[in-house]
Structure 1
Amino acid sequence: MNGCAAESFCRVKDILKSNSLKKETFMCTKPIVNTHVCRTSTEWKENKIDRYLCMPDEDVCLSEYTQSIYDNGTVISEHILRCGKSSECNLHITITHPKKTIGIRTTCCSTYDCIPPTVHASFVKVPQPEYNGLTCQACYSDGSINCVSNNTMVCTGTQDHCIIYTSEKKHSPDPYSKKYGNSVESLTGCGTKDCCIYGRSFVTFDHHGKTVNITCTMGSSNINFLSYLSWTFFALILLQYVNTLL
């Protein structure tokens, strides 16, 4: 027989049945269901907070603040509370495309039903102008989960990874969510190293759900080629100088 028991029950090795002298042996195992509970909220219901039972691999409560800056100057901020993994804590993500820049900051707390601190200030900065030698595919689609383009962009500063970013919001057909509608968005461009840690996130709240995926991909680098040209040029100058001495 399998079932649930109190922790004190697991300290007993043997018990006797009340109606016989036969001994019953048993073993306690760790539960496969997480008992960690976190508060959840989204920008759809800013003044309402719910509580959510986390998945087995989620061990912290996470605050995720996202800020997006579009090429026309529009700035959109979003704050989400959700369950998360320890590896997602204290991330500082920047993703850049010519049409849109996305910044994500995360903070965590690890106790039951805790409220993590939130970064509310503007933090998306203009990418540093120094070209770092990486070239990535550049594509942006507002309305499609798949973005395909032959365009490329050069990466600058600390954005030394090629990124694929997708965001999908779904809303159940209840009378209170009709005004929101479903939306999808995809982007490829340059990003910081924390993008490779983020992975996939999901939050559900009051008939709404949002899924974000961030993955790192391979790009093309010109650093080694430029270094090779520099050393080749130096060697030719040195050889020419040596010949003048002979």
Structure 2
Amino acid sequence: MIPIVSARSIRAWLVGLIGAAILVGLIGAISHGAGEASAAPAPVIGVGVKVIPQGGGGCNVATVSGRTFDFAGHCGKVNDRITDANGQYVGTVIRSTTYPDGSGVSANYADIATVQMAPNVIVRDEVPVKGVGQPRHGSTVCKHGHGIANKVRQCGTVVAITKFGIVIKGMAVTPFDSGSPVIDANDEVVGIISGSPSLIDAALSAARALGIPVPDGASVATRADYELVG
């Protein structure tokens, strides 16, 4: 005797089959998405790379030493979290010449901060350098940064070296160039572009006090060999 299957049973069977197929598809999509998320490339940090301060804007990596990097002090106070241009966390500020309340750069004649890198950060310089050097009067230096003018490389001449920083004539600096490495002809980083108005004014005034004719548009950089402790 052939069993009789009702239309209702057939519909129920089809609904169950379709539901199972949809569930399998959803699980596959979720698994695929999780796989893509886990495969996201690790952030890269190196000399000349653009980074984003906790408060937004843009700064640049000046020097790298082991698992730390330096940039401009006004780009972050201690405990600030720093991300890359894609929003990935790259490290936390562990030392800075910026006051803890972020009100400005302290009076120790430097605009510099040190960031402890996150464990997953890959170190790879955007611009090749041989290390940190010392600035020299009359030398030609070039900054490598990512300011709003989109002119990564700009060069000028060192016209004064004061306790407030290196004064450079002819080098155009724009917002978000802060922290850019200043590199000499030996491919050594000799300075870190400053964006602190008080420090810039102090450096220009000190140069003029020495009788050096410095235009208002001159750039100022903290010495890259400045020893930041604390």
> Smaller-chain TM-score range?
under 0.3
TM-score (norm 2): 0.22
Instruction: Name which structure has the greater RCO, CA cutoff 8 Å, separation 6+.
Output: 2
> TM-score by structure 1 length?
0.21
Report which of the two has the higher share of helix: 2
